[in-house]
Amino acid sequence: MTTLAIRGGRVIDPAKSVDTIADLLIADGHIAEVGPYAGKDASETINASGLVVCPGFVDIHAHLREPGLEHKETIASGTRAAARGGFTTVCAMPNTEPPIDSAGMIEFVLRTAQTQGAVRVLPIACITRGRVGKELADLAELAQVGAVAFTDDGAPVADAHLMRSALEYAGMLGVPVIDHCEDAVLSAGGVMHEGWVSTRLGLRGNPAAAEETIVARDIALAEATGSHVHIAHVSTAGSVSIIRQAKSRAVRVTAEVTPHHLTLTHEAIIDAGEAPGGLAYDTNAKVNPPLRTQFDAEACAEGLRDGTIDCIATDHAPHAIQDKLCEFDTAAFGISGLETALGLALTALSLQEAVRALTIGPVRALGLDARIEGLGTLSAGAPGDVVLVEPEAEWTVEPETFASKGKNTPLAGRTLHGGVAATIYDGRIVFDGR
């Protein structure tokens, strides 16, 4: 039996409120023991002194693009990017081509991940057949083969009646419904946040209210059905406050925020230093929901601290170069986010807050611990998924070095603090950056 000991690190396990110097032993792909002298006789030992040792990060919102869009990302490249970012579990979004709306498609994702993936992939299935918002997909069958949630992310369910049915049906199955909250009529044509930057650049704005009206609708439907709705990528102060009120009434709502909505604003689109004419029109900062104001970013961080928002999710959205090297209006939405998530999280949050938001936070938000015991923790018997973090490390974002095929990030050249020293998945080192 191979055993791996990680010795002398500062172990942070938010699920058990642990923050102490300790050794950790992984045996046979599972956490065997955490304690002062764990793993003295392990077959392999990592000296983690000076490093933080925490449960492998869990991303519940990543676009791995396979099948159909392999020029943007594959399950192989996306899971390598995940490992490089400290993630050992990623939930794959179903907006592929064709979309993940049948048992066969779920099985394809699981099989491909099994043979080619660097880390664990948990598939999310569509709410509606073909992701077109007309009729429900075969939700029970999808749940049975392993869908951990349902979403039409990117093409939000406009029909409130259908959304209500989805919540009722998914509630019977005990599977959460994730909604990308956007009133597509109100946001029509919008390519960035509606505000002073959109006015300055002459670009069509997507107003905060387009998100908030649907957050309010979904909460009303969750309250009416008693089912669990999870709000994807919250981006506005108004959404945070609506969710906060709902949670105070014990509505079954959870929410996530992306690292970029916590730390960047719409000003990223206009800024570029040396750009001719002084206006950048930076397509790498074009994302949906759009980067909003400082006021919104701070409200999201506050929401994460007070528990209104449950976790960070990357909304990793890799694209090919030509998808971004074009007019701002025609550029694809999305940021390649797996490899900068920790650095950005540590920009907005303390180390303990960031680790919680990347581990037990997302696991509990989607109820993943009911499927995989101990996921997101370092409890004995939990998966042998561990990340070693160097919290003070200073590094420069160089997209060309990304493991992801998507080099699309507005952070190129930016200095971030907090690096991943190594990622261990299933008891094996899958990324070593030491």
Partner 1 sequence: MTQEKLGPPTAPAVAEPPRAWTRSHLLDVDDFAPAELEVVMQTTDAMKEVLGRDVPRVPALRGKTIVTLFYEASTRTRASFELAGKALGADVINISAGGSSVEKGESLIDTVRTLQAVGADVLVMRHWAAGAPYLVARHLQAAVINAGDGAHAHPTQALLDLYTIRNHLGDVRGRRVVIVGDIEHSRVARSNIWSLLAMGAEVIVCGPPTLLPAGLRSQKASRPTVEENGREAMALPPVQVETNLERALEGAEVVMTLRLQKERMQGGLLPSLREYATLYQLNEERMSRAQTGALVMHPGPMNEGIEISPGLASSLQSVIEEQVTNGVAVRMAVLYLIARGTKQ
Sheet strands (E) in 170-220: 177-179, 192-193, 205-206
Q: Write out the DSSP string of 336-394.
A: --TTTHHHHHHHHS-HHHHHHHHTHHHHHHHTGGGTSTTTTS--TTSBS-EEEEEEEEE
Query: Which is it for the CA torsion 79, 284, 287, 397, positive or negative?
Result: positive
The nearest distance, CB 245 to partner 1, in angstroms, is 17
Say which entry of Zn ion, partner 1, none residue 380 contacts (CB below 5 to 8 A, set by partner kind): none
Identify which range of 1-9, 254-262, 272-280, 379-387 contacts partner 1 by CB under 8 A. Answer: 272-280
Does the protein bind partner 1 through residue 376 (CB under 8 A)? no
Does the protein bind partner 1 through residue 273 (CB under 8 A)? no
Catalytic residue among 282, 296, 315, 323: 315
Residues touching partner 1: how many (CB under 8 A)?
36
Out of 19, 70, 168, 267, the residue judged to bind partner 1 by CB under 8 A: 267
DSSP at 109:
H
Does the protein bind partner 1 through residue 140 (CB under 8 A)? no
| Subset of 79-138 contacting partner 1 (CB under 8 A) | none
Joined together, the tokens standing for residue 387 give 């990340």
Say which entry of Zn ion, partner 1, none residue 180 contacts (CB below 5 to 8 A, set by partner kind): Zn ion
The nearest distance, CB 190 to partner 1, in angstroms, is 10
Out of 325, 371, 394, 415, the residue judged to bind partner 1 by CB under 8 A: 325
- Rounded Cα–Cα distance for residues 120 and 123 (Å): 10
Query: For tokens 């192989």, what's the residue?
Result: 76
Which residue, 180 or 324, is less far from Zn ion as judged by CB? 180
Q: Write out the DSSP string of 29-50.
A: TEEEEEETTTTTT-SEEEE-TT
The nearest distance, CB 408 to partner 1, in angstroms, is 15
- CA–CA–CA angle 230, 373, 426 (5° rounding): 105
Contacts of 156 (CB under 8 A, 6+ apart): 133, 179, 180, 181, 182, 184, 214
Encoded one letter per residue, x for contact with partner 1 by CB under 8 A and - for no contact, window 191-220 reads: ---xxxxxxxxxxxx-xx------------
Query: For tokens 């699981």, what's the residue?
Result: 110
Does the protein bind partner 1 through residue 425 (CB under 8 A)? no
Q: How far is CA 190 from the centre of its chain?
A: 23
The nearest distance, CB 279 to partner 1, in angstroms, is 6
Encoded one letter per residue, x for contact with partner 1 by CB under 8 A and - for no contact, window 145-164 reads: --------------------
Which residue, 153 or 218, is less far from Zn ion as judged by CB? 153
- Rounded Cα–Cα distance for residues 402 and 399 (Å): 5
The tally of CA atoms less than 13 A away on the side-chain side of residue 15 is 22
Which residue, 181 or 280, is less far from Zn ion as judged by CB? 181
Contacts of 8 (CB under 8 A, 6+ apart): 21, 23, 47, 48, 49
Does the protein bind partner 1 through residue 245 (CB under 8 A)? no
Strand partners, 92: 62, 123
Is the N-terminal amide bond of 67 cis, ω within 30° of 0? yes
Out of 114, 330, 350, 401, the residue judged to bind partner 1 by CB under 8 A: 330
Does the protein bind partner 1 through residue 293 (CB under 8 A)? yes
- The separation between the first and the last C-alpha atoms of the chain, rounded to the nearest angstrom, is 26
Under 8 Å between Cβ of 92 and 125:
no
Say which entry of Zn ion, partner 1, none residue 267 contacts (CB below 5 to 8 A, set by partner kind): partner 1
Under 8 Å between Cβ of 53 and 40:
no
Which residue, 188 or 275, is less far from Zn ion as judged by CB? 188
Which residue, 317 or 382, is less far from Zn ion as judged by CB? 317
Say which entry of Zn ion, partner 1, none residue 405 contacts (CB below 5 to 8 A, set by partner kind): none
Identify which range of 9-17, 54-62, 144-152, 292-300 contacts partner 1 by CB under 8 A. Answer: 292-300
Residues in contact with Zn ion by the rule CB under 5 A? 153, 180
**Catalytic site residue 23?**
no
Does the protein bind partner 1 through residue 277 (CB under 8 A)? yes
Positions annotated as catalytic residues are 315
Binding site for partner 1 (CB under 8 A): 194-205, 207-208, 237-238, 265, 267, 270, 275-281, 293-295, 322, 325-330
